[in-house]
Amino acid sequence: MGIKHDDIEFESPRTVQDIGRRLQESLAGIKASSVEHLESAAGALAQFDDRADIEVIARGVDFSSLWAVQVYVEDRGARRAVRLVALGDGSFTRTMSGRNSTSLAKSIKKRDVIARSLR
């Protein structure tokens, strides 16, 4: 069944720097165990990608469930576009993998906490 996702998008009048600081605080607050820059899948042609100003994936463990949220922030002049993507395994994968799968429900909860801190 593969990876499922649930996205939200909103605009913010905050600067990219302010959003970055708030994101750091939020991820520390929800105990993200790793935060990594998203790499392009275009390989040698990555230089031609349209890239956001902030592109990261945050991961963590909440009790026995894994969670993951992708964060994209793009400067659009007077406003910043923010896109948060909660990731999770499909129900079949979760059943087969058990504890080593990513919970979409947990990811959505973490994504919503992040969203409140960035608005």
What's residue 42's pLDDT? 65
Q: How far is Cα 82 from Cα 42, in angstroms, rounded to an integer?
A: 23
45 occurs within a structural domain: no
Number of domains in the chain: 1
Per-residue pLDDT of the chain (119 residues; tens, 9 = 90+): 578 999 999 999 999 999 999 999 999 999 999 999 987 776 666 667 778 899 999 999 988 789 999 999 999 999 999 999 999 986 555 455 555 689 999 999 999 999 999 99
CATH of the domain at 89: 3.30.310.80
75 occurs within a structural domain: yes
44 occurs within a structural domain: no
98 occurs within a structural domain: yes
What's residue 101's pLDDT? 84
83 by Cβ neighbours in 10 Å (0-12 / 13-18 / 19+) ranks as middle
42 occurs within a structural domain: no
112 occurs within a structural domain: yes
Domain with 91, as residue range(s), is 3-37+51-118
CA atoms within 13 A on the CB side of 48: 4
Q: Which pTM does this prediction carry?
A: 0.87
84 occurs within a structural domain: yes
27 occurs within a structural domain: yes
